Amino acid sequence: MNIRTCVTSWGKQSVNFGFKSQFEDNNARVEAALHIIDTYAVVRQKSKSDDTPFRGITLLSSREIDAMRPACRLSSELLDFLTPMVVPGVSTLELNDAAEEWTQAHGATSAPLGYPGAQGAEDFPMSICTSINEVVCHGIPNKKDVLEDGDIINIDVTPLLNGYHGDSSRTFMVGEVSPKARKLVEVTKKALWKGIEAVEVGGRIGDIGAAIQAYAESEGFSVVRDFVGHGVHRTFHAEPQIPHYGVKGKGKKIRPGMVFTIEPMLNEGTHEVDLLDDKWTAVTQDGKLSAQFEHTLAVTKSGVEVLTYLPVAVAV
Ligand code: MF3
Ligand code: CO
Ligand code: CO
């Protein structure tokens, strides 16, 4: 979720953020954005007696977390279902259509389909996001994008079931990929788990990004700043925002009942991204590879539960 998108779609009004020109570095820019979001959330809450307990973050009861489980399970199963289709010669449209059919057959809908675009963008026209090679995120499936041997592709799915969203993505290697691409994919997956391990009740949101960034950069990769993880429940993109870089001990406190995604995007080269003319597809500025993995997780009193991770039973 793009920070600017989140703020504008939330407020249903257009807000002019001149971050790029106002701030020298991305950290300052994102800090400023987070501050604006905080302030805005508090203002909104005053006129609303909803279930939002503080600073715009919805804390879920254990019943509500239970209600998230079927949607989260579906997102994992949908990615499993798509896995054998991810081979040279398949188009991203075929992956999309198979995902849509599978989702409907399981009584769910595809939350990305028709998702409102920000700042002049059309609503998202497809059911899943497919992001190949230098595409960082939000690639739009189409029949011309046909997978080739050596490609990497992120598939991001978000089934909506019984009013709850399950948001998860994986990057797949198509056929034989270069050692560098393989390393990027493996490091990105591990970076997500480093982030998950950093989640602790009483800790801070900044702990997550700090863990991801330290690991990613130690392996020679950069962390995308312009897209962040997000609260997810009845609302697809909610507070809190989860940057994948940052400083340990900074940010909001992590509390039981928080449900959010962690979805780091790691780049081979620069962390800077460009948006294509469709206003959705984000690509690396230098054209080098990008990979991403995403899980939805719940914070409980006893720790963290990865709702979109289904342990596989192994016969011993
Ligand atoms: N699933 C993406 C995420 O992880 C969001 C996709 S929004 C869409 O937040 F409109 F592009 F589908
Ligand atoms: Co997400
Ligand atoms: Co997602």
pTM confidence score: 0.85
Q: What's the rounded mean pLDDT across residues 190-215?
A: 98
pLDDT tens, 39-49?
333 333 333 33
**Mean per-residue pLDDT of the chain:** 87
> Contact 251/198 with Cβ under 8 angstroms?
no
Give the whole-angstrom CA distance, residue 125 versus residue 98: 15
Give 136's DSSP letter.
Answer: E
- Upper half-sphere CA count for residue 201 (Cβ side, 13 Å): 13
Q: Which residue has the tokens 């788990």?
A: 193
pLDDT band at 220 (very low <50, low <70, confident <90, very high): very high
31-35, 194-198, 299-303: which range is least confident on average? 31-35
CA atoms of 168 and 76, how far apart (whole Å): 7
Judged by average pLDDT, the poorest of 52-61, 161-170, 255-264 is 52-61
Kindly report the number of other CB atoms within 10 A of residue 53's CB atom: 12
21's tokens: 């020109």
CA of 50 to the centre of ligand 2 (A): 23
CA–CA dist 159, 238 (Å, integer)? 16
- For domain 3-306, the question of CATH label 1.10.760.10 is answered with no
Residues in the chain: 316
16 CA from centroid of ligand 2 (Å): 24
Q: Quick one: DSSP state of residue 57?
A: B
Residue 30: Cβ within 10 Å count: 21
Rounded CA gap, 100 and 310, in Å? 21
Confidence of residue 138 (pLDDT cuts 50, 70, 90): very high
Q: Is 268 in the pocket of ligand 1 (CB under 6 A)?
A: no
**Does the beta carbon of 167 lie inside 6 Å of ligand 1?**
yes
Over the stretch 68-106, which tens digit does the pLDDT of each residue have? 999 999 999 999 999 999 999 999 999 999 999 999 999
How deeply is 112 buried, as exposed, middle or buried, from its count of CB atoms within 10 A (0-12, 13-18, 19+)?
buried
C-beta 110 within 6 A of ligand 1? no
- pLDDT higher than 80, residue 15: no
Q: Which of 79, 115, 122, 165 to mutate to test the pocket of ligand 1 (most atoms within 8 A of CB)?
A: 115
Extract the tokens encoding 78: 């949908």
pLDDT at 3 over 80: no
Secondary structure E strands in 146-294: 152-157, 159-161, 164-165, 168-173, 222-223, 229-231, 238-242, 259-262, 265-267, 273-275, 282-284, 290-292
Q: Is the separation of the CB atoms in 169 and 263 below 8 Å?
A: yes
Identify the pLDDT of residue 315.
78
Q: Whose CA is nearest to atom 9 of ligand 1?
A: 1
- Asked whether the CA dihedral 211, 214, 219, 220 is positive or negative, the reply is positive
Residue 218, token pair as written in the block? 């130690």
Distance 50 CA to ligand 3 centre (A): 26
Whether residue 160 has its Cβ less than 6 Å from ligand 1? no
Ligand 3 centroid distance, CA of 46 (Å): 30
State which of 96, 156, 295, 296 you would mutate to test the pocket of ligand 1, scoring each by most atoms of that ligand within 8 A of its C-beta. 156
Q: Which atom of ligand 1 is nearest to the CA of 111?
A: 12
Residue 190, Cβ density class (10 Å: 0-12 exposed, 13-18 middle, ≥19 buried): middle
Q: How confident is the model at residue 55 (pLDDT cuts 50, 70, 90)?
A: low
| pLDDT grade for 314, boundaries at 50, 70 and 90 | confident
Phi–psi pair at 294, nearest 5 degrees: -145, 135
